[in-house]
């Protein structure tokens, strides 16, 4: 703790240094900040936030109350205070011989946290690794966002996929508690209990599951207090089938067109689809969007991965054109968007936020909400994370420049706080 605080002192300077020396600094305050979160998209200026033992205990205008001398104060006049960011789609433990080896993963996690990301949701990988990393992040053994992860359920045909095989080394893909082939004869209460036993927060539904089985899985998961997160299309089930079944989020905006189309027509597969083409060609998805709104289902759009894909292979550019349009249509229809990258940590969630603003029409404020409150809702942690208020975890980021004025300022990180610990930025 002391080490992190020293970094903060060097960066911005503490007031009341003698008091700092007398305290364990479990309790400290930030003053002079402009507060921006889902409840303050009209920013609250010149605020003081008091943190005690990792929890925000008070928030008030600078002049409204005085603080006892025993509380060290980090003076941040002119800086911006936001909730820590949440990436709702990462993969940290899929292929241990390449980018997911331990050294690379720890380096990525360190950089993620110092960039302002305080929580991530891993959408399928080796749960044995993820459980260890999650525990180490929680207790502070590693410098990392908090890690929430999934157990994957899919139809038996999926488990020849090399990603599923590399995630279960020493075991058999399809027969692991976190990489499970499910059919109508599966003992679902046992499968869900075993998935929960891995430490997973949610079950991710993937390929080849029929709608009726999806509904049974979701019902069983809810009985056992697990969330269910869906790939938006499961070959045998449409996006609306997942939404009706009660999943809490669906991933990949591009797949929403599967609601009305079994395939993408060959004539669409060209490098650049212009706005007029998309306007004339894309199906009307308004009833799906209404259903998502009614059932409070979040869209994990994952624009970054499709953008990355288009950049690597220009013949795949149509995928990003469709993704942009589907995300924009969902946003304009009032569907809640969360910010997940799914690009193997090539760019962090700040990249997704920029794409949401520039390519899907989100306001800067709504992109901030996507990566904070909506991210917390996707992970089921909105009671403790995602906003700045008394009783919430002190997962925060301090910016030098206003992200509402320009979303790229989300990268102007001064320092990051997770569970009350202060970390220097990557700058």
Which residues bind to Zn ion, rule: CB under 5 A? 123, 342
The nearer residue to Zn ion, 146 or 342, going by C-beta atoms, is 342
Distance CA 287, CA 152 (A): 28
Q: How far is the CB of 151 from Zn ion (least distance, A)?
A: 14
Q: How far is the CB of 355 from Zn ion (least distance, A)?
A: 16
The nearer residue to Zn ion, 5 or 123, going by C-beta atoms, is 123
The nearer residue to Zn ion, 114 or 204, going by C-beta atoms, is 204
The nearer residue to Zn ion, 123 or 417, going by C-beta atoms, is 123
User: 80-83 and 249-251: which strand pairing?
Assistant: unpaired
Q: How far is the CB of 360 from Zn ion (least distance, A)?
A: 19
Exposure letters 94-110 (e unless 16+ CB within 10 A, then b): bbbeeebeeeebeebbb
Token reading at 8: 């903060």
* Residue sitting closest to Zn ion (CB): 342
| 3-state secondary structure (DSSP) of residue 351 | helix
Residue with tokens 């002119």: 78
Q: How far is the CB of 94 from Zn ion (least distance, A)?
A: 9
Q: How far is the CB of 367 from Zn ion (least distance, A)?
A: 20
Between the alpha carbon of residue 95 and those of residues 77, 166, 167, 171, the distances in Å are: 45, 5, 6, 14
CA torsion angle for 23, 26, 27, 30 (degrees, to 10)? 110
| In contact, 397 and 416? CB cutoff 8 Å | yes
Q: How far is the CB of 89 from Zn ion (least distance, A)?
A: 6
| In contact, 81 and 67? CB cutoff 8 Å | no
The nearer residue to Zn ion, 51 or 310, going by C-beta atoms, is 310
The nearer residue to Zn ion, 34 or 198, going by C-beta atoms, is 198
């Amino acid at each position: 703790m002391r080490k992190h605080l020293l970094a903060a002192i060097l960066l911005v300077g503490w007031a009341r240094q003698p008091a700092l020396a007398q305290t364990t600094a479990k309790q400290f305050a930030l003053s002079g900040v402009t507060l921006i979160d889902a409840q303050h998209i009209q920013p609250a200026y010149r605020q003081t936030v008091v943190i005690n033992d990792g929890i925000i205990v008070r928030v008030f205008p600078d002049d409204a109350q005085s603080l006892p001398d025993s509380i060290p104060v980090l003076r941040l006049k002119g800086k911006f205070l936001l909730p820590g960011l949440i990436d709702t789609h990462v993969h940290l433990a899929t292929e241990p011989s390449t980018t997911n080896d331990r050294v690379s993963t720890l380096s990525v996690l360190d950089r993620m946290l110092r960039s302002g990301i305080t929580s991530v949701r891993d959408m399928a990988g080796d749960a044995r690794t993820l459980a260890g990393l999650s525990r180490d992040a929680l207790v502070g053994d590693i410098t990392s966002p908090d890690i929430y992860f999934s157990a994957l359920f899919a139809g038996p045909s999926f488990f020849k996929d090399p990603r599923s095989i590399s995630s279960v080394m020493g075991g058999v893909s399809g027969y692991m508690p976190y990489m499970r082939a499910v059919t109508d004869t599966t003992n679902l209460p046992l499968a869900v209990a075993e998935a929960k036993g891995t430490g997973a927060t949610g079950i991710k539904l993937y390929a080849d599951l029929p709608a009726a089985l999806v509904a049974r899985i979701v019902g069983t998961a809810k009985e056992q207090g697990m969330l269910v997160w869906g790939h938006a299309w499961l070959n045998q089930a449409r996006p609306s089938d997942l939404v009706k079944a009660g999943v809490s989020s669906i991933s990949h905006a591009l797949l929403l067109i599967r609601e009305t189309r079994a395939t993408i027509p060959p004539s669409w597969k060209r490098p650049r689809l212009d706005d007029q083409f998309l306007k004339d060609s894309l199906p009307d998805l308004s009833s799906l969007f209404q259903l998502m709104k009614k059932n409070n289902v979040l869209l994990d759009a994952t624009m970054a991965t499709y953008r990355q894909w288009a950049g690597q292979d220009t013949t795949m550019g149509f995928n990003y054109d469709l993704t942009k349009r589907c995300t924009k249509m969902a946003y304009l229809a009032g569907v809640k968007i969360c910010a997940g990258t799914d690009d193997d940590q090539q760019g962090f969630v700040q990249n997704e936020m920029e794409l949401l603003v520039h390519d899907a029409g989100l306001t800067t404020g709504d992109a901030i909400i996507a990566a904070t409150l909506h991210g917390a809702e996707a992970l089921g942690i909105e009671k403790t994370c995602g906003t700045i208020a008394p009783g919430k975890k002190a997962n925060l980021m301090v910016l030098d420049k206003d992200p509402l004025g320009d979303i790229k300022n989300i990268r102007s990180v001064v320092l990051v706080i997770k569970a009350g610990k202060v970390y220097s930025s990557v700058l």
